[in-house]
Amino acid sequence: MIVARAPLRIPLAGGGTDLPFYAERRGGHVVSVAIDRYAYATLVGRADTDEYLVSCDRVQRAGSLDRISHPYVRAALRHLRIPGGLEVHCVAEVEGRSGLGISSSIMVALLCALHALRQEPTDPAALAREATMLEREVLDEAGGVQDQYMATYGGLREIHNTTRSDVTATSLELAPEVCKTLEANLLLFSTGVLRRSDEIVRSQLEQNSESEILEHYDEIKQAGLAARDGLLCGDLRAFARALHRHWTVKRQVSDRMSSTLLDTLYERGLGHGALGGKVVGAGGGGCLLFYVEVREVMATLEGELGKVEQAARLIAGAVRSGNKLLVAGNGGSAADAHHFTTEFEGKFRHDRRGFPALCLCANTSLLTAWSNDYSFDTVYERQLETHGSPGDVFVGISTGGGSATGYSRNIAIAAARAKTLGLKTIGLAGKRGGSLLKLADVCFVVDSHTTARIQEAHVVLLHLIVEAFEALIEEDGAAAAR
């Protein structure tokens, strides 16, 4: 048995400039990266038959090469003159037509396995040229060269080409920290839309004059060069802008490049904090790639983790004394307040008794009545006056941190009132902390201006606080048992 694998790839920028109509005139330049998802080819010699047994998109028994329905298997076996009595399996870890270069990875893996079967050494450049020749010339599938070269070489590379045989795949050596940040901040999503890349490629030529398409791809090539420069100098925001520029231009090349769904999903990604992104591959569907500064938020969290036990001890001390937790927030933060109190009244990770926790956002009748008759600014202050007792803990959640004169005034006013009533206060804020930074006994500040990132960090922090609280309560139980 022989098993070979080849990685799938994500083209970062410049994709399409490796197509012959552009590369032969202006020279192609693509920045692409291989990922840890693979296509596999498995060969098993069969002594009980001289037929070909093929299992790829479907299972087939064929008495001759011409009867093999899978075009890649048929072309590769014919090219290398492989006799029957062979079982061939091809499979990938990701569904086909997703824009990740799966077809080319299958071809490369299959050729690699077949050369091993023939006990023939082959170098990466020759293997990539062979795969390109079979796909583009023998099977006449429209496309460039990056897929075959990335499947063969792997890594992070810039690919230059002028023809299908004049290709260089140069490794891009990034600083270790840049590499870690890039990997953490690139997010890949499936759109659920499958398409044939060769059809998308052909539509570009059908819908544009030669001068128009060359002009489009000149801009795409510049985006690829800008992406490379951003990576090499560690300016990942410039890299993200290059991704966005690439997609903004490329979606204009053909009416099949994008769709209402893809445009909506892309805009939604940008609206939730992505700095840039693109549809992966030829376009029309497949996967969406976004660059999101996740590590920046995680780094902020790391700086706030020392406060987790402090907050947990504050809450544990309150409940030990028979006091309770009161939590408030607005919008998404109100949902977090519901979530947080539920973890105390119910349980988080361990079976234990419930603890008194009141979500001040839950009573919609009071919220609407007080806001209508008096002011939404004081709706949480009123409830603290009603339910709060000295020694209780108030938790105010606001992505901006609250302000006595601006956003989330009700949280800032409630936090100030909590202090005068003798309550301890924990704040979860964003941006620069707002009023909560000054008013709270313990304040977590997520140093970001992107609301979605702040909210995501708040959920992590709330879970950590509950987990630390449960650990302290377990210690109480163990001490009492002794």
Class of domain 2-292: alpha beta
- The answer to whether residues 422 and 452 touch, using CB atoms and an 8 Å cutoff, is no
User: Please, what is the average pLDDT of the chain?
Assistant: 89
Please tell me the predicted confidence (pLDDT) of residue 117.
96
**Residue spans of beta strands (DSSP E) within 340-440:** 357-359, 393-397, 424-430
**Tens digits of residue pLDDT in 128-143:** 999 999 999 999 988 8
Task: Please compute the mean of the pLDDT values over residues 215-237 and round it to a whole number.
Answer: 93
**Tens digits of residue pLDDT in 19-28:** 888 999 999 9
What's the topology of domain 296-481? Rossmann fold (3.40.50)
Residue 323 gets which letter from DSSP? -
Lowest mean pLDDT, pick from 124-128, 203-207, 230-234, 323-327:
203-207
**Tens digits of residue pLDDT in 361-382:** 999 999 999 999 999 999 999 9
* pLDDT over 80 at 268, yes or no: yes
* pLDDT over 60 at 152, yes or no: yes
Which sequence spans correspond to the domains of the chain?
A: 2-292, 296-481
Please tell me the predicted confidence (pLDDT) of residue 283.
67
Share of the chain above pLDDT 70, in %: 93
* pLDDT over 50 at 207, yes or no: yes
**Tens digits of residue pLDDT in 426-475:** 999 988 888 999 999 999 998 777 788 788 889 999 999 999 999 998 87
As a dihedral over the C-alpha atoms of residue 82, residue 83, residue 84, residue 85, rounded to 10 degrees, the angle is -90
**Tens digits of residue pLDDT in 278-305:** 988 766 778 899 998 866 666 667 777 7
Task: Please compute the mean of the pLDDT values over residues 3-9 and round it to a whole number.
Answer: 97
Neighbour-count burial for 60-99, b at 16+ CB within 10 Å, e otherwise: bebeebeebebbbbbbbbeeeebeeebbbbbebbbeebbb
Task: Please compute the mean of the pLDDT values over residues 388-392 and round it to a whole number.
Answer: 96
More confident residue, 354 or 300: 354
Lowest mean pLDDT, pick from 81-85, 88-92, 201-205, 214-218:
201-205
Radius of gyration of the chain (CA): 29
Question: Residue 11's closest CA among 223, 174, 166?
Answer: 223
Please indicate whether the domains covering 2-292 and 296-481 agree at the CATH topology level: no
Please tell me the predicted confidence (pLDDT) of residue 149.
96
Please tell me the predicted confidence (pLDDT) of residue 57.
83
Q: How far apart are CA 50 and CA 113, in angstroms?
A: 19
* pLDDT over 90 at 254, yes or no: no
- The answer to whether residues 315 and 325 touch, using CB atoms and an 8 Å cutoff, is yes
* pLDDT over 60 at 479, yes or no: no
